[in-house]
Amino acid sequence: MVKLDAGHPYGHDGPNPQSKDLNNIKNDFNIIHMETSKWTDELSDSDLGFIRSMILHSGSLKALALEYGVSYPTVRSRLDKIIEKIKVAESTTLDEFSQKIFAMAIDGQITRDAAKRIIELHHLQTGGKYGKH
């Protein structure tokens, strides 16, 4: 049985909120899953492995540098790129095409100038202007 505190809207004699709480938890989980699946879908297996290692090392970039056999600045740079990818993936102002092009630039597959030009041309073709249509 769930013990309610005196400030609870149902008070001590109100209905048992367990089923409502479980539904809220399920709904919260679904919302969290929807929000995380979008940005995690944009990360490579290598990026996800890096994040996993970082979590297992309690966020210590120094420990990660030792594990990967690279310098601290190299690990920091990798983390910054992943952060940038997540920000682009979560952008509400960029359409999916633009997000993919920016992600390619972040990964170094194309230059940032090329990414900007491709997106400009795409939006000229589609009638949009950098944002969602």
Q: What is the pLDDT of residue 20?
A: 59
Contacts 24+ apart (CB under 8 A), 124-129: 128/95
Integer Cα distance of 122 and 45 in angstroms: 28
Please report, rounded to a whole number, the percentage of residues in the chain having pLDDT higher than 90: 38
The string of pLDDT tens digits covering residues 4-39 is 444 444 444 555 555 556 666 656 555 554 555 578
- Confidence (pLDDT) at 91: 79
Q: What is the pLDDT of residues 35-93, one digit of tens each?
A: 555 788 878 899 999 999 999 999 999 999 999 999 999 999 999 999 998 888 887 77
CATH number among 1.10.10, 3.40.1350, 1.10.357, 2.40.160, domain 17-89: 1.10.10
Is the pLDDT confidence value at 129 over 50? yes
73, 76, 82, 84 alpha-carbon torsion, rounded to 10°: -90
The reported pTM is 0.58
Q: Where in the chain is the domain with CATH 1.10.10?
A: 17-89
